[in-house]
Structure 1
Amino acid sequence: MASFAAMNARLFLLLFCLASGIASPPLRAETRWYAIHLGKDHIGHMQRSRSEVDGAIETRSELVLILQRNGERLPVESAEWTRESADGEPLAFSSRFATTGTLAAVEARVEAGTVTARIEQGGQRSEKRFPWPEGAVLNEGQRRAMKPLLDGETVRSDVLAFDPASLNALPLSSARLAMETVELEGGPAQLLRIRQVHGPAGAGVRSELWVDPETGDARQMRLPALGLELLLRACSRECATAPPVAADVLASTLLRAPRAISQRERQRPLYFSLRAGDLALTPLGGIPGQRLGQADAAGVARLRIDPEGAADQPPTDADLAPARWLQSDDPEVRAMAESAVGRSRSAARRMYRLQEAVRRHIEHKSLRVGYASAAEVIELREGDCTEHAVLLAALARAQGIPARVVTGLAYAPGYAGRQDVFVPHAWVMAWIDDRWKGYDAALPAFGAAHIGLAMGDGEPFDFYSGLELLGRLELVEVSTRKAGGGP
């Protein structure tokens, strides 16, 4: 069974984005070091600095960590730089994110309200021009917006935070809580606790910061991650860069099934009774073919999944367009698609042949690749479920078939010594015969035991919705019959 390796990399890209929005050290050329812990394991470090250069404010951040999935090690490196005027107006920025087998980099300038970005993705270089999102801010703008909250003049701060890695602007809401004593490397410190929600309404990722209100210096940050707790804590360089432990991030994301689910059952609609503590299950209702009912007093909601998909949510032009991870206009992607479909005419037949072509093309099924784009997968011929999904979606779009990448959980009778579990996974939804239908090039077949959490163009920030649910879901019951109050 393929594993969802990409979510690990995406999660820490998200962490990096969140950490870029926190208050910074005082204005001098100083670097703050942070140790990164996942659960009990020290998995890496982040360093961050803010300084004045030629009258502008420059902020730099670098993150290095190492993960492990079922014995395979995955190094992750990310770097970000922003340049802003003293009053927080954006001037330029850059971002670099690398894991095994993939590199995504952006260099951009902002002039007269227009962003000109040079993008490197999948070995390709391109340029993109677009208006700066109205009201969006980078690091210095976020720091200035946080000042009234730190000073106690307000209890809430809302900004539109621009992320250089994804070229997206997302809401960032911060709430002032209380002063608390926090144990740090140099001893206890009195810090202001701030709760943040970063992302779209109803699907944001929650985190907490502990900030020195006098300097605006964030000393600790915490957020849920893959069923564990991710913690950044300020400390010395020696402490932060101590040899990391390659934490196994897959085990905590597995969802136990209360019973075995037969292949025959997976070919028909299934009903899942789910709960996730204090988290909303709303993202589950946003995937075609999935209908979510109301939660009961115990927080349990029934989810109906139809393996035949659904005819609602018709595709848009974006579902046919090339994207950073789905380079459907790449000559090699187009050539592979043409070769795979041959003389097939119907969309259903072409999609089937594309699925089989992806299965054959990715010769080495492994967790070693971090998160490759479609163009990179063609060259690598290696990867797990995410590589299968992005390549299949790009091939479909190259053939004029609307397609989206879905991430979530898929049932496995056995995985990594566990029986009857749902494993993080990725697959494709394609618009065939006037309805969305599921295709899974990494597994023998798509079925009702695919629980989708998020959907998009295969880009990391498409998967905000549902991110917190990984490792937090509980599956209470699986049934083939509709119950009273079910969807």
Structure 2
Amino acid sequence: MSDRAWRFLSAVLMAALMVRPARAGSDLRDPPEGLINEGWYALLMSGQKSGHMHGTLRREGQRILSATEMTLAIKRGPAVVEIRVETRTEERLDGTPLKSVSVMNLASQMNLTHTTEFDGTKAKVTTEQFGRPTVSEYELSAKPLLAWGSLVEQQRRGFAPGTRYTLAAYEPAIKPDDVLLTRVEVVGPETIDLLGRQTQATKLKTAIEGLPMDQVSWVDEDGEMLRMTTFMVMMQVELVRCDKTFALQDKDPPEMFAQSMVPVGRSLDRAGLKRLRLRLSVPQGQLPDLPETQMQNVRRLDPRTVELTIIRIDHKKLKGASPVEPVGEAAECLRSNAYMDLNDPELTRMAAAAVKGADGLYDRLDRLRNYVSREITDKSLDVGLATASEVARGREGDCTEHGVLLAALGRANGIPARVVTGLAYVPEFLGSAHVFGYHMWTQYYVDGGWVDVDAAFRQTEVDPTHIALSVMSLNDQSFFDSAFSILPLMGRLKIEVLEAE
């Protein structure tokens, strides 16, 4: 399920590239007509070539147009998933943003297109898929800077060691409802390796507020970016300046999915387990707060450690449940969004077919779970985080696709639904035995509480080996928030089984 982290990373890299330095020798007050700048970069993950980036800036009259295209490949077991992101921006000569368009394609699927129109601090974001638009409007906390505006501001600030400033970048694929405050610090000169060649460069540190990662970039004497490194908990991701030929050479991405598994060193009886007590810890820093659910009780022992008690819910008590009027968060979990387009006729058809002949609320819930488990016929790792509309047409995917489709069909039937990101136990996966892997499942609002349902594991009554890290509606900014529940833990989390009964 950690494909969401890679999709998130690709958007973060695109946001970081918006604040890449400009050539110091360029007059950004009045650049020449036509092409201003073009660059090719190789993308490396853990030292292995995993993609490329190509960017251009050009002037057309009083407007500046930028275009950036990036590909990123990851291995998920035997499968290779490729993410392709294209971003185009249109700005006035003084850096005032007019429009941005970002298109993200995942695993050869036509995915989401975000078109943003700007008016001062107002952003109107149109999200489109399969020709169906969804429009949201936001009041941002600061005037946003896109590619050209960031370059103008960076040239004004200069590259003297010790220089510090903050840019208000904007990338709707990460956080549509507000700017990304980006702190930049000029460190000073140093020698770097550039694909086997030693060269002098100026080092800059960049941190995007709220993101669990830091970035370092190096620029030449003209202010042109030579290398950018993003440090994450499991790996190092680099963009390295190169020629077009090298940038487009074959990819050799590392296998990251199996590395995210957390071993526990013993078997667990998922079918018979009623109660599970676990200790979760990280070696340093703070373990993020985990949600309390009907299944999961959380007791914090210290900043790095929590103890969980997870129980199996008796569904016999739910079988007589009647629908209740949802309020607050439950009501929010009935609305359409970019991942669950409730106006999609295919989702409407599936939602009706799934519950045909159902007797009562619980029977509808159970039929929906069985329907999704059955209809996703290709249990594949080749797909990343697809929308419900994509899953409805492709009938392919892993836990994320099961979770999103099940939530969408619940909402289409008037049942408030959200998804859970977490971990779940599997006896064996990709050659590793007795491990917890990152996972997604669904919660339905029934009888005044949230009930866990797992279509990927074919469980209407979910077993206690499910550890919830976060719950989310997938409305707007939830994607940004959900990545934080996974990224700080990958490669660092330890799970100890204290008691299983």
TM-score normalised by L of structure 2: 0.83
What letter corresponds to residue 478 of structure 1 in structure 2?
V
Number of the residue aligned with 1:42: 49
Does the residue aligned with 2:290 lie in a helix, a strand or coil? helix
Q: Mark the CA change 1:295 to 1:158 in structure 2 (over 3 Å): closer, same or farther.
A: farther
Deviations 1:347-390 (A, max 9, x none): 33322221111011111111122332111111111111111111
Deviations 1:8-65 (A, max 9, x none): 3333233333333433455562212221111131111111223332222322211013
Number of the residue aligned with 1:421: 435
Matched, 1:447 2:447: no
Match of 2:401 among 369, 381, 387: 387
What letter corresponds to residue 390 of structure 2 in structure 1?
E
Q: Mark the CA change 1:150 to 1:286 in structure 2 (over 3 Å): closer, same or farther.
A: farther
Looking at CA atoms only, which structure, 1 or 2, has the larger radius of gyration? Answer: 2
- Name the count of aligned residue pairs: 468
Q: What residue ranges of structure 2 are gaps of 5+ in the alignment?
A: 29-34, 315-326
Shift in Å, 1:453: 3.2
Range with bigger deviation, 264-273 or 148-157: 148-157
Number of the residue aligned with 1:284: 290
Does the residue aligned with 2:251 lie in a helix, a strand or coil? coil
What letter corresponds to residue 23 of structure 1 in structure 2?
P
What letter corresponds to residue 104 of structure 1 in structure 2?
L
Range with bigger deviation, 205-214 or 252-261: 205-214
Match of 1:300 among 298, 302, 305: 305
Range with bigger deviation, 166-175 or 146-155: 146-155
Deviations 1:312-371 (A, max 9, x none): x96243211101011123222122222222343543332222111101111111112233
Number of the residue aligned with 1:485: none
Range with bigger deviation, 466-475 or 416-425: 466-475
Matches within 5 A, 1:82-231: 82-100=89-107, 101-111=109-119, 114-121=122-129, 123-135=130-142, 136-146=144-154, 150-152=158-160, 156-165=164-173, 167-176=176-185, 178-179=187-188, 180-185=190-195, 186-199=197-210, 204-212=211-219, 215-225=222-232, 227-231=234-238
Identity %: 25
Matches within 5 A, 1:315-464: 315-344=329-358, 346-445=360-459, 446-458=462-474, 460-464=479-483
Q: Mark the CA change 1:208 to 1:14 in structure 2 (over 3 Å): closer, same or farther.
A: closer
Does the residue aligned with 1:248 lie in a helix, a strand or coil? coil
Q: Is the 8 A contact 1:35 1:233 kept in 2?
A: yes
Does the residue aligned with 2:284 lie in a helix, a strand or coil? coil
Matched, 1:471 2:490: yes
Q: Mark the CA change 1:187 to 1:13 in structure 2 (over 3 Å): closer, same or farther.
A: same
Q: Mark the CA change 1:453 to 1:233 in structure 2 (over 3 Å): closer, same or farther.
A: farther
Number of the residue aligned with 1:71: 78
Q: What residue ranges of structure 1 are gaps of 5+ in the alignment?
A: 482-487
Return the alpha-carbon distance in structure 2 between the equivalents of residues 471 and 253 of structure 1. 6
What letter corresponds to residue 290 of structure 2 in structure 1?
L
What letter corresponds to residue 473 of structure 1 in structure 2?
R
What letter corresponds to residue 451 of structure 1 in structure 2?
I
Number of the residue aligned with 2:323: none
Match of 2:36 among 12, 29, 33: 29
Return the alpha-carbon distance in structure 1 between the equivalents of residues 47 and 309 of structure 2. 37
What letter corresponds to residue 488 of structure 2 in structure 1?
L
Q: Is the 8 A contact 1:8 1:249 kept in 2?
A: no
What letter corresponds to residue 103 of structure 1 in structure 2?
N
Shift in Å, 1:214: 5.7
Deviations 1:286-311 (A, max 9, x none): 77745251426xx33334445549xx
RMSD between superposed Cα atoms in Å: 3.0
